[in-house]
Amino acid sequence: MSLSPDLHRLRIFLAVFDAGSVTEAAAELGYAPSTVSEQLRTLAREAGHALFQRHGNRIFPTSAAGILEPHARNLLVQFERVNKDLSNYASKKSSEVTVEFVASVGSSVLSPAATALSRRRPDICLKFSLQSQADETALKMARGEIDLAFSFASEVPHGLVASRALHEPFVAVVPVDDPLAGRGHVTLAELRDRPWINHDAANGSCSRSVADQCRALGFTPPYELSTDTFETTQDLVAAGLGRAVLPQFALARPHDDVRCLRLEAVRPDLPPPGRRVVILRRPETSEAVMEFYELLLKTGEEFLADHAS
pLDDT in tens, 250-285: 999 999 999 999 998 877 777 788 889 999 999 988
Q: Strand ranges (DSSP E) for the chain?
A: 52-55, 58-61, 96-101, 125-130, 148-151, 166-175, 185-186, 196-198, 223-226, 244-247, 258-263, 274-281
Helical spans, DSSP H, in 20-101? 22-29, 33-47, 63-94
Question: Average pLDDT in the 62-89 region?
Answer: 80
Question: Average pLDDT in the 123-128 region?
Answer: 92
Question: Average pLDDT in the 235-258 region?
Answer: 95
How far, in Å, CA of 32 to CA of 30, rounded?
Answer: 7
Mean pLDDT estimate for the chain: 88
pLDDT for 299: 97
Question: Average pLDDT in the 36-53 region?
Answer: 88
Length of the chain: 309
Q: Which residue has the higher pLDDT, 207 or 171?
A: 171
pLDDT for 248: 95
Question: Average pLDDT in the 228-245 region?
Answer: 94
pLDDT for 88: 58
pLDDT for 79: 82
**Taking a C-beta distance cutoff of 8 angstroms, is the pair 302, 185 a contact?**
no
Question: Average pLDDT in the 197-226 region?
Answer: 85
pLDDT interval class at 95 (50, 70, 90): confident
pTM metric for this prediction: 0.69
How far, in Å, CA of 229 to CA of 64, rounded?
Answer: 74
Question: Average pLDDT in the 125-145 region?
Answer: 88
pLDDT interval class at 108 (50, 70, 90): very high
Max mean pLDDT among 32-41, 44-53, 187-196, 208-217 falls in 187-196
